Structure 1
Amino acid sequence: MTALPTTEPVRIVVAGAPRRSALARLLGVFGSGVVRAVLAVVAVFWLVPVLGLFVASLRTESDNNTSGWWTVFTAPAQLTLRNYRALLDNTEIMRSFGNTVLITVPATVLVIVIAALAAYALAWIDFPGRDWLTVLIVGLLVMPIQVALIPISRLYGLFGLFGSIAGVVMFHVAFGLPFAVFLLRNFFAGIPADLLEAARMDGAKEWLIFRRVVLPIGLPAIASLAIFQFLWVWNDLLVALVFADDRSAPITLALRSQLREFGTNIDVLATGSFLSMVVPLVVFFAFQRFFVQGVLAGSTK
């Protein structure tokens, strides 16, 4: 009968809790309530200029010239919608507002469509030079817009695009594509390969896979890109200042001309500025759920 091997008891040493930093101990003492209060105070100070702009847009020119906007809290009778009615009758401002929509919407849609197709090809289609093309696109991210203003101005002059809405849209599309392709390509590359292979085994072609599989999964990233591109183009002044004329000027250029001609016309400037700010806010809050998903995408992978 063989003897069983002898065993010795194993000593388990339980280590103490990790040492917390001084900042972590301080936050633990005060709790999250203090942090939320500080963030609330910062948010209030951040929104004070927006509130001042909104109140100034509801006051007459004489009230804005003689007193500060905060006096409305003691004299609410100053508030009026006269400025907005006058703005609707301002032909130049309303035409520029329409030009802004005609510039921003095509520039956003074209960037999303072209970037989504290119990103899918760079992520899942094997073709010669794919890696070098990806590196080239990443390199274009560091190119400043100012470098291309003069060469593209000469090119637009040759083709008759200078001063047109189409020329402004093409410039925004060209300089919005590198970031868009880079963003969507990284998101599409994170899609499980087994999902695409299963679709190919079922007989789906690349276009059907892109439309039925990749696009629904990539909707958060596409929504985030749409918000970024829309805000960049809507608030742009430099490109419009160089390539747009009086007929194709967006709202930012029209407000700048109002400031140059009527430096004390705060009622027109405040009303037009707040009106131009409302549309991006509506777009952001409409796609906020997808925007948060796109920003957090990949954090749990």
Structure 2
Amino acid sequence: MTVTATDRRTMAKGPAPVAASGPRRSRGRLGRWLGSSLIQAFLVVVGLVWLTPLAGLFLSSLRSAQENASGGWWTSLTSPGQLSFENYSALLANSGMTQAFWNTVLISVPTTVLVVVIAALAGYAFAWLDFPGREPLFLLVVALLVVPVQIGLLPVAKLFGQLGLFGTIPGVVLFHVAYGLPFAVFLLRNYFAEIPREMLEAARMDGGSEWRIFTRLVLPVGRPALASLAIFQFLWVWNDMLVALLFAGTSSQPLTVALQSQIRQFGSNIDVLAPGAFLSLVVPVVVFFAFQRHFVQGVMAGSVK
């Protein structure tokens, strides 16, 4: 029998791979489907468990004090007639609570803006500008991260009393800015340091000043980190009660302190506490979802190359 060149090439390649049988492929697809379904079911359960207290708070805020005292919030699921917005109307008509809400805004927004702006300038300087004492100063900033807030409460309170800032909104803002800057500078400096040096050198060769490079190049590139920092700082200040409880006066107290005073005065005043707590929760959630895309980019920055 004569062996042709084509036969020799076929024998050199070896036997053709055997395709996977139909049942084996079906079992593989079934296993992947079951695995993904189990993960999705687990995530759904975790989400429902996490949302249950929030749903209970919202439903409690829509019920009267008598209904909350007579049964749990879950009873409103079968009796929707219990639900109304009268508690929110009464809360908005309460001048003390509305003033506390605006005080929270006046404390959180300026603090967040100041921390982000100052930290961005300092982070760029520590990352790309050469000046005497840059490394020791940055080490000092990092060392301030380990200083707890409780250590500075009494000394700063005494200093603010001498300066006339104790019990005022600017005093609370300054305290939050001072203790928020070390982490903010550390975060933005490390993020800005990842910008390619060639990009900055090209901008300098084109005649760009440091300020122009910072505003037109560094800030747009660092937008994810800036958004992440803004979200973190806003949430920390909005939910703070320790600093506000000590430094804020009666006319400058935020919503957290106002709600705490309601507990102290009226005990289980759920018809005031529930809508106030839910109102204080809505704003951070709205801020988070507004910057969610930039926040995810900032968290994932540097994870892949």
Name the structure 2 match of 1:192. Answer: 196
Instruction: Give the C-alpha shift of residue 36 in structure 1.
Output: 1.7
Corresponding residue SS for 2:294:
helix
- Partners in 1 of 2:72 and 2:33 — Cα distance? 42
> Which amino acid counterpart does residue 204 of structure 2 have in structure 1?
R
- Cα distance in 1 for residues equivalent to 2:133 and 2:44: 51
Match of 2:37 among 28, 33, 40: 33
Q: Which residue of 2 aligns with 1:177?
A: 181
Residue 158 of structure 1 aligns to which amino acid in structure 2? Q
Residues 112-132 of structure 1: per-residue CA shift (max 9 Å, x gap): 000000000000001111111
* Alignment partner of 1:270 is 2:259: no
What is the Cα deviation at residue 43 of structure 1? 1.2
Question: Among residues 292, 297, 303, which one is paired with 1:288 in the alignment?
Answer: 292
> Corresponding residue for 1:129?
133
Structure 2 counterparts to residues 137-286 of structure 1, below 5 A: 137-286=141-290
C-alpha distance in structure 2 between counterparts of 1:171 and 1:259, whole Å: 26
Report the CA distance between 1:268 and its aligned residue: 0.4
- CA positional deviation for 1:62: 0.5
Residue type of the alignment partner of 2:85 = L
CA deviation vs aligned residue, 1:37-88 (integer Å, no higher than 9, x gap): 1121011111111000000000011100101000011101000010011001
TM normalised by structure 1 equals: 0.90
Partners of 1:120 and 1:29 in 2: CA distance: 48
Distance 1:294 1:29 in 2: 32
Cα distance in 2 for residues equivalent to 1:264 and 1:186: 47
Q: What is the Cα deviation at residue 163 of structure 1?
A: 0.2
Q: Distance in 1 between matches of 2:93 and 2:137?
A: 50
CA-based RMSD of the aligned residues comes to 1.1
Segments of structure 2 that go 5 or more residues without pairing to the other structure are 1-30
CA distance in 1, matches of 2:42, 2:204: 53
Q: Partners of 2:145 and 2:168 in 1: how far apart?
A: 26
Matched residue count: 275
- 1:150, 1:264 → 2: CA distance? 32
State how far apart, in whole Å, the 1-side matches of 2:230 and 2:89 are. Answer: 31
Find the counterpart in structure 1 of residue 105 from structure 2. Answer: 101
Q: CA deviation at 1:30?
A: 4.8
Normalized against structure 2, the TM-score is what? 0.89
SS in 2 for 1:112: helix
For residues 81 and 181 of structure 2, what CA distance do their matches in structure 1 show?
Answer: 49
Which segments of 5 or more consecutive residues in structure 1 lack a partner in the other structure?
1-26
Matched, 1:92 2:91: no
Residue identity matched to 1:143: V
Deviation for aligned residue 1:135: 1.1
Correspondence list, 1:109-120, <5 A: 109-120=113-124
Q: Give the secondary structure class of the aligned counterpart of 2:249.
A: coil
How far the C-alpha of 1:180 sits from its partner, in A, is 0.5
Moved over 2 A (4+): 27-30
> Deviation of residue 28 (structure 1)?
6.6
> SS at the partner of 2:132?
coil
Q: Secondary structure at the match of 1:236?
A: coil
Supply the distance in 1 between the matched residues of 2:33 and 2:275 (Cα, whole angstroms): 47
Query: Residue type matched to 1:169 in 2?
Result: V
1:128 partner SS:
coil
CA distance in 1, matches of 2:37, 2:156: 54
The answer to which structure has the higher helix fraction is: 2
**Percent sequence identity over aligned pairs:** 64
